[in-house]
Structure 1
Amino acid sequence: MRKDALAGVATAAVVIPQSMAYATIAGLPVEVGLYTALVPLLVYALLGTSRALSVSTTSTLAALTGAAVATVPPDQAMAATTTLALLAGGLLLAAGVLRLGFLADFISHPVLAGFKAGTGLLIAAGQLGKVLGVEQTGDSFFAKTRSALSHLGDISWPTAALAAATVAGLFALKRTKIPGALVAVGAGIVVGAAGLLDVALTGTVPGGLPTPAAPDLGLIGPLLPAAAGIALMSFVESIAAGRAIAHSDEPEPNADRELIALGAANFAGGVFRSLPAGGGLSQTAVNDTAETKRAGALTALVTLATLLFLTSVFADLPQATLGALVLVSAVGLIQLEPFRQIGEIHRRGVALGLLTMLGVLTLGVLQGVLVGVLASMLSLVHALNHPQVTRLETGEIKVVGPLYFANVQRVKRRVLELDPEPVLDMSAVHGIDVTAALVLEELAPRMQGLNPQPRELLRRVQSRANAAANSRSTSK
């Protein structure tokens, strides 16, 4: 219990200020971030399968939420957030019941790397107005950046100085075990309360427990695609963080049960005005010292105490401090190392990651992910349609990969180009379909090393041909 208590309090020191900052990414009041660090976290602690996973919200989920909320009028922002969380929760629950945990595999490593880098740049661009104290408009990365730069003549130097000092402090504290986010918030509140700088403050933060809210039924249709993207990303980020932090002597999180736990966390969070929730790697890493899931419940209890007794303190928190917190978090998403590792294995993967990143920067977060997934699928189809056909030193021709209706004609032409009377090594062909079996029928006697499925299918084709020949002979 002692280890769980220490882990829970330490994680709260990270989660509470981060959640407040992430709420601003979505364009929502900071108390919504506190609600997200309470309800979803508590529900996951009861139902989740990962010992250390800390489920509140993440910068990427906040960005996805912000992109969706921006499509509705400002007075519907909170209703849209509630609807998104409930929809995402419902989709995750349904996926868990249907045992669709394998869907996480549809986000490839290159797409995830490009998505994170693009989202990091997009979030960072969106904070330029706050950290410089200037007006900012626009939706895309380029529009946000152009807007901020066009107002550089109006820069608020006290705001910029505070933001720069906060960023420098956060990077310096990263090398220590001190919770940099908590220190930054504390220092910012001192500066704001003392009136040392002429900067914009957060203002009144409502305290107390979150009250239940109903979804806006009229927004279900328009927000459903965004909710599906949020649900998928919540699951992908959570399962990745849970697997990364799992110790060698403990099982990895169960994907299908995680869908249920995350779905319940999002659904309950939506009822109580939370952002869509998922597991973040930064707070999960802090929570790794926990022995059991009780640590997550203790983090939620610290958040509850904050809501009940400490919200008045945040009124003097400068907006520049929150902007700096988000900026540092966004920069952490922009990593070149994954691209370098992918490039060492396959250059096409780097192109796929860069395409996803460009999609996020130009089209938006959800659209960028869809571009990456679509490009991944097209790349897979291209690879399947071009199986390797090579001549071995022994003179045999080897085919590598599955053969089906879309590639078998190309493979047959290539084989006959190499040798009009080939001897085929089929040991690397583990599956064929009916079309492939019919097309390759005349080459079947020249095949060696057939695997069970192709051998059985070709046998049936040959039996059919023999039966047809016998029938013709009998009729004559």
Structure 2
Amino acid sequence: MPLAGSDKSESGSNAGIRPDLVAGLTAAAVVLPKAMAYATVAGLPVAAGLYTAFVPMIVYALLGTSRVLNVSSTATLAILVGADLGMAVPDGDAQGLIVATATLAALTGGILILASVLHLGFVANFISLPVLTGFKAGIGLVIVFDQVPKLLGIHIAKEGFFRDVLSIAGHLPEASAMTLVVGIAALVLLLLLERALPHSPAPLAVVAGGIAMSWLLGLGAAGVATVGFIPRGLPSITLPTLDLAVQLLPGALGIALMSFTETIAAGRAFALPGEPPIKGDRELLATGAANLSGAFFGAMPAGGGTSQTAVVRAVGGRTQKASLVTAAVSAATMLVLAPLLGLLPQAVLAAIVIVYSIGLIKPMEFAAIRKTRRMEFHWAIAAFLGVLVFGTLQGIVVAIALSLLGLASQAAHPRVHVIGRMRGEDILRPLSSDHPGDETFEGLVVLRPEGRLFFANAEQVSERIREVVTQNKPRVLILDLSRVFDIEYSALQVMIEGERRLAEEGVTVWLAGLNPDVADYLRASGFEDRLGADRILANARVGIHRYLETYGAAEGPTATPMDH
């Protein structure tokens, strides 16, 4: 099977392979330490992170549509996985966690594959960007405070974000000075390296330094918690169990949605002009197969990561050969370096998680949303608080509910513009204080509703029309339907009844700019015959010209200013 995004002209050339080789090695230096750190976020052994950067990465490389997307664990997925596993295996039993992880990854993969078969790639768009911004910021804050105890060398019982913050404050006197020094040193070094050399193998340098310090100074014996024993060798086969499937299914649905959302967002973000398009349904299949296959080899649920993909692109990666190189390095690490990784202080891993999770919190994005659309800013804040108050898994439900609520709110409140004509030009546009000199016509009102008209907004649109008609008392009302792409049966009945009432009041309704589908619905309902062909116009301009020819109305601002 050809690799996704492979280039036949490069396949036989060392010059073509070299960029992907360099990109794969560099990405491995960044991805593998982060993958191990994210495994600890999920409450799993660090080896699970290495496994996630192995099998899922290979499978996606063979099936995905992105040329450079790097698929492994991510901060968001890690915290969701940890929350789900915490409920399924509350006692933290090692074998129970392994089986539960396999079951969760298999469910996630199965859901994604089923979604691909059902062509549900559009579902990722159900979480709006402002809501996703709030959700990820909440996740980022949860992850940071989740790692603070490891940075301090203390242990707390997890009881929810706000209680955990209070618990950390209460345990501060018990903090280990040596652990804190190691963690702060790693944190500062990582921040400095990332600032000076973005997309560099900074995590690898920090991990190597942490292992060296642990070995030379005997940090484990001094009370600094280390990773501990990591089995050497490739992952063994782990079978999911049906016993846990029902319990883990709700969490798997949320993880699958977030995996696909992150994957499609990262894939599109790093696609260059001229490269194959990112196909939603194919991405569902690729990420689903990656998760399903990884489930049998100890991998956590995986998805496309923005930061690691940025590394691949930044150092010149061109095809999925780079991901295969990264997976090969992961396998080599499991086979050779496992004993050394056991010396790594937990505080160093916590520092890595904190540095790369802070990036999920984007105050400037909140500010941009607030400046542009205050209502969407409120949705973002609500999603942010939803994660902190209700928890990570419930937070995903809050995020989806808010997105759907925002969509329903927008659909239920379509704009209805009063239209004027630019003075001296045959250009129609909504009346606005930005251009007060636009012409309107005595006895004529032109209204332009926008969007789909259906049962949820039909009465509101009707009321808005009546407000304008009552205010201006026109002889003719032109409804410009050029921006209405669909009209549902309930809305059509409201329109027919509204026209009848206006006719009783002496107002004649003309319809203009009907698209073919809307015209067909009007014809099937008999409304077109009732109006007559002379009241169905090609567009609003034709209607204005006909009105002026028929009634000889004077041009200029109406006596009663229109509310727009």
Q: TM-score range by the shorter chain?
A: over 0.9
Amino acid corresponding to residue 101 of structure 2 in structure 1: T
Alignment length (residue pairs) = 466
Between 1:397-406 and 1:65-74, the stretch displaced more is 397-406
Q: How far did residue 345 of structure 1 move?
A: 2.1
Measure, in 1, the Cα distance between the counterparts of 2:528 and 2:375: 43
Q: Among 268, 271, 274, which residue is 1:249 paired with?
A: 274
2:321 corresponds in structure 1 to: 294
Q: How far did residue 465 of structure 1 move?
A: 8.5
Tell whether 2:174 aligns with 1:154.
yes
Q: Deviations along 1:121-140, whole A, 9 cap, x unmatched?
A: 00001011100111222242
- Match of 1:427, SS state, is coil
Tell whether 2:293 aligns with 1:268.
yes
Q: Among 28, 35, 47, which residue is 1:12 paired with?
A: 28
2:231 corresponds in structure 1 to: 206
Tell whether 2:391 aligns with 1:371.
no
Measure, in 1, the Cα distance between the counterparts of 2:321 and 2:416: 56
In structure 2, the CA distance between the partners of 1:225 and 1:4, relative to structure 1 (3 Å rule), is: same
- Match of 1:396, SS state, is strand
Whether the 8 Å contact between 1:13 and 1:179 is mirrored in structure 2 is yes
Q: Deviations along 1:88-135, whole A, 9 cap, x unmatched?
A: 001111111222111111121011111111000000010111001112
Q: Deviations along 1:35-84, whole A, 9 cap, x unmatched?
A: 11111111111111111111111011110100000002322222111111
Q: Among 88, 91, 94, which residue is 2:111 paired with?
A: 91
In structure 2, the CA distance between the partners of 1:170 and 1:459, relative to structure 1 (3 Å rule), is: same
Whether the 8 Å contact between 1:400 and 1:428 is mirrored in structure 2 is yes
Whether the 8 Å contact between 1:16 and 1:37 is mirrored in structure 2 is yes
CA RMSD of aligned residues (A): 1.7
Q: Deviations along 1:200-225, whole A, 9 cap, x unmatched?
A: 11111111111111112111111111
Amino acid corresponding to residue 130 of structure 2 in structure 1: P
2:184 corresponds in structure 1 to: 164
2:243 corresponds in structure 1 to: 218
Q: Among 396, 401, 408, which residue is 2:451 paired with?
A: 401
Between 1:241-250 and 1:448-457, the stretch displaced more is 448-457
Q: Among 357, 368, 382, which residue is 2:384 paired with?
A: 357
Whether the 8 Å contact between 1:14 and 1:182 is mirrored in structure 2 is yes
Q: Please list every run of 5 or more consecutive structure 1 residues that lacks an aligned counterpart in the other structure.
A: 467-476
Measure, in 2, the Cα distance between the counterparts of 1:348 and 1:417: 25
Q: Among 155, 161, 164, which residue is 1:135 paired with?
A: 155
Measure, in 2, the Cα distance between the counterparts of 1:139 and 1:206: 31
**TM-score, normalising length from structure 1?**
0.94
Whether the 8 Å contact between 1:352 and 1:375 is mirrored in structure 2 is yes
1:434 corresponds in structure 2 to: 489
Q: How far did residue 326 of structure 1 move?
A: 0.8
- Match of 1:127, SS state, is helix
- Trace 1:318-467 onto structure 2 (pairs within 5 A): 318-393=345-420, 394=440, 395-420=445-470, 423=477, 424-442=479-497, 443=499, 446-451=509-514, 452-462=516-526
Measure, in 2, the Cα distance between the counterparts of 1:406 and 1:315: 60
Q: Deviations along 1:414-466, whole A, 9 cap, x unmatched?
A: 32232156603333222211122222115286133141333332233236987
2:75 corresponds in structure 1 to: 59
Measure, in 2, the Cα distance between the counterparts of 1:383 and 1:189: 54
Between 1:392-401 and 1:105-114, the stretch displaced more is 392-401
Give the structure with higher Rg (CA).
2
Whether the 8 Å contact between 1:242 and 1:252 is mirrored in structure 2 is no
2:333 corresponds in structure 1 to: 306
1:471 corresponds in structure 2 to: none
Whether the 8 Å contact between 1:24 and 1:30 is mirrored in structure 2 is yes
Whether the 8 Å contact between 1:441 and 1:461 is mirrored in structure 2 is no
Measure, in 1, the Cα distance between the counterparts of 2:108 and 2:124: 15
In structure 2, the CA distance between the partners of 1:390 and 1:9, relative to structure 1 (3 Å rule), is: closer
If asked which structure has higher relative contact order (CA below 8 Å, sep 6+), I would say: 1
1:173 corresponds in structure 2 to: 193
**TM-score, normalising length from structure 2?**
0.80
Q: Higher helix proportion, which one?
A: 1
1:284 corresponds in structure 2 to: 309
Measure, in 2, the Cα distance between the counterparts of 1:243 and 1:396: 41
Whether the 8 Å contact between 1:426 and 1:447 is mirrored in structure 2 is no
1:472 corresponds in structure 2 to: none
Amino acid corresponding to residue 243 of structure 1 in structure 2: R
In structure 2, the CA distance between the partners of 1:300 and 1:48, relative to structure 1 (3 Å rule), is: same
Q: Deviations along 1:156-190, whole A, 9 cap, x unmatched?
A: 11111111111111111112153110011001001
Measure, in 1, the Cα distance between the counterparts of 2:318 and 2:454: 51
